[in-house]
Amino acid sequence: MSAPPHPLQMLSVKETEKARDIVLASHPDHVIEFRQVDLKEPCKKDLVPFLQIEHDGQLSQMTSRPPRMAKCHYDIIAANMAIQYHESLVDLEQGKMVENIVVGKEFCPSLTLGEFDTLIEVCEASAVFKSAVKELNLPSHMEVIIEPWPYGSLEVGDEPGRYFQGLAYARDTPNGNNPDSNFYSFPIPMIPVVDYYKRELVRIEKLATGGKGDPLTASARDSMNHPLDHCTTAEYVPELIQSGVRKDLKELSVVQPDGPSFKVSDGSLVEWQKWRFRVSFTAREGVVIHDVQYDNRDVFYRLSISEMTVPYADPRAPFHRKQAFDFGEGGAGMCANNLSLGCDCLGAIKYFDAVAVGKDGAVKVQPNVICLHEQDNGIGWKHTNWRTGRAVVTRNRELVVQFILTLANYEYIFAYKFNLSGELDIEVRATGIVSCVNIDAGKTSEYGNVVNPGVLAQNHQHIFAVRIDPAIDGHANTVIQEESVAEPMNSKTNPMGNFYRVVQTPITRSQWADAAPLSNRIFKIVNTSKLNPISMKPVGYKLVPPPTQLLLADQRSLQARRALYAQHHIWVTKYKEGELWAAGAYPFQSQGEVGGVQDMVDRGDDVENEDVVVWSVFGLTHNPRVEDWPVMPVEIHQIQLKPSDFFATNPSIDVPSNKNLASQLVENGKCSGKDLTNLNGSNGVNGNGVTGINGSTNGVVH
C-alpha cells in the first residue's frame, strides 16, 4: 500500500480529475466552465501538529492526517447565459463536496486565458471593429494584433458586467511573415472594449497621440496617412536582428561533476545544506514555500508572493483604467513559463511540474514550471591574517527556487534564494517589453518616453507584496521595529559625541510601517521565549524593507483605493485562516480594496507573542529609457531575511574553503590550462600564504 500524499503535496492529475468529477456530479444538468482547481491547504491548527510529528521522525501509515481537500473555482452558466461564480471545497477522501459558496455579484473572479481568447474572437468577428481598422488605411502587409488587458474599474455609465479591453498593435509581415516579429513597434491608437457576458463589442475608444502641450483627448486624424506611417521595426529574435548577434561571446558553462548538493524526496521535500522545506505551486501565487527549517529549527511556516499591481501614470482617457493586479486578477501560476534546460536555469537542474484545468474541465500537466538549482554568488566570507599571511575564503553558494511569468508584454522572474549562512533572499527581476502607445512624429511626452519612432513607453509602477508567515522557533512571534538614532552630545551619556542609540519598539497591535533608511529602520521577527545563549537576546530573523517608492496615484483615485496595500512598506497582522491576499481576494474590476491588509490592520488585533504575518511591500517606479527597448534588461529588486541572534555563531563557518580546479589562468586572451597553485609565487592562492591553497602548506585549510 503506497503512502498517502503529504498534506502540502500539490494535487496530482488523478486528484484534480476526481475533484472535477465531483463538481460536475454536484451540479447535474448545468453547463460548467472551470477556472482553477488547487489544493486547499490544511488549516494551520490541523497541519502544525502533523508537521511536528514529521519533524520528530515519528510519521507512519497510522499517523492521522489532515483532510485532503481541493478548492474548485468555476462558473455555472444558465440557459439565459447568466453566470454564477462558485468556490467549492471537495473532500477527496470522502469523495464529496463539503462546501459550496456562490460569490456575490459585487465581486468578480480572476480572469482566465480563455476569456482573453474570447476578447480577440469578439473583436475579429465584429463589423464595427473591422470598420475601425479599415478607417486606419493600414498597408496590406500589416496584420492587426490585439493584446488583451483587464478592464480596470467600471466607468461612470458602464452597465454592470464583466469587461475586457485590448491594446491594438500591428505586425509588419514582409520579414517572411515571421510570427515572432515585434508588433509592439506599431501601436494602433484605439482600444476595443468587450462585454464578456454578452460576447459583444461595447465600444472602440480612440486614443490621444499628442505630446507636450496637446489636449488630453484624441484629436481628428488625417485620413490620408495611416497612424503607423512614422513607426519603424525593432526586432529582438536573433534571426530578425538587422546587425545579427555578437560572435565574440564565448561559452560559460556551469558544471557540477559530482552532481547537485540538494536532495528532493516525497514529491516536494527539498533538503540542502541544513535547509529543509517543501515547495508547491498554485494557480494564483505560483511558487509557495512551506515549512522552512534550518538545522532542524523552525524558521518560516509559509512564504509566497501575494500580489503585484502595475498602475500606469498617463492621465489621458482611458489609461486611468490601465492598472493590472497580476496575481489577483490574472493568476500568476496560470501564466508560468515552461522552463528550458540550459536557458532559464544553468547547472544541475531539478524541475517541478504543476497541474492545470481548462474551462472544459480537461486536466493537463504544466511541465517545468519550477526550477531548482544551485548557483555561485561570489565570496561568502573571507579573512586574511596579515601577520601570518594566511587567508581563508569561502564561496556564497545559493539554492534557488525559481519561476517565470509572461504577462502579455512583461516577464517577471521570481526566485527564493537560500544560502549557506541561513539567509533567504526573495528576488524579483522584471524584463520583457515595455507597454507602449502611439505618439505623433517628432513629439515628446511627459507621460512617458519615446523609445522608438512613434512609440511612447508610458511611465508606470510595479508594486509587489510578499507574504511572510514566520515560525521563529515556534509560532508565537513578535515583530520589533529597530532604529539607530544619533544621541546628542552630553556630559552624561555621550561626552565625545560618537555614541548612537539602538531603539527597539515592539509592535503590539496590527499596523503598518514604512522604511526609513536614514535611521536604519529594520524589523526583527523574534521569539521572546527563546534567548540566544551568547547575546541573551531573543532569537530572530530581521527584514530590511527596501526603501522603494510607494504608490504615487492620488489617494482619492481609483488606482489608490484599489491598492491600499501599496501605500506602505510593512504590514503586521495577526494570522487568520484564509487571509492570503494583500489586495483582497477579488481585485478584478474592484472599486476599492476589500479584505486586504488595510482591513486586517483595522481589526486592531494583538500581535505581540502571537501567530503573526508580515507583509513586505516594495516596487519599481519605471520611467522607461531608450535602453529598455525593444526588450528591457532585467531590473532587480529583493528583500532579505537574515538571522539575527538566531545562531550561536556564523552558521557558514564550517563551509569548506576548496580550490576550484576548473579555474584557469588567462594568457594572451586564452586559457593556459596551467595549475594556479604554483603560479602565485609568495602570494599563494586566495591570500598571502607561502604555498598551497588559502595559505596552508598542504592544500587544506586548518
Which is catalytic among the residues 410, 447, 565, 586? 410
Extract the C-alpha cell encoding 303: 512564504
How far is 188 from 684, CA to CA, in rounded Å?
64
H or E, element range at 635: strand 632-644
Q: How far is CA 439 from the centre of its chain?
A: 31
Gyration radius from the chain CA atoms: 28
Which is catalytic among the residues 38, 291, 314, 326? 326
Extract the C-alpha cell encoding 547: 526603501
Region for 677 from its dihedrals, namely left if φ exceeds 0, alpha if ψ lies in -120 to 50, beta otherwise = alpha
Q: How far is CA 317 from the centre of its chain?
A: 29
Catalytic residue flag (residue 326): yes
Catalytic residue flag (residue 410): yes
How far is 352 from 349, CA to CA, in rounded Å?
10
Extract the C-alpha cell encoding 665: 589562468
How far is 275 from 423, CA to CA, in rounded Å?
10
How far is 702 from 691, CA to CA, in rounded Å?
14
H or E, element range at 660: none
The b/e string for 526-539 (b: 16+ C-beta within 10 A; e otherwise) is bbbebebeeeeebb
Q: Which stretches of 348-417 are DSSP H helices?
A: none
How far is 508 from 605, CA to CA, in rounded Å?
8
How far is 631 from 339, CA to CA, in rounded Å?
19
With the CA atoms of 150, 151, 152 and 153 taken in that order, what torsion angle do they form, in degrees rounded to the nearest 10?
-140
Q: Is 5 helix (H, G, I), strand (E, B) or coil?
A: coil
How far is 492 from 388, CA to CA, in rounded Å?
42
Angle formed at CA 149 by CA 365 and CA 581, multiple of 5 degrees: 65
How far is 541 from 533, CA to CA, in rounded Å?
16
The DSSP annotation for 594-606 comes to -SSHHHHHHT--B
Could you tell me if 504 and 480 are in contact, meaning their C-beta atoms sit under 8 angstroms apart? yes
H or E, element range at 127: helix 127-135
H or E, element range at 91: strand 83-91
How far is 250 from 255, CA to CA, in rounded Å?
16
Catalytic residue positions, numbered: 326, 410
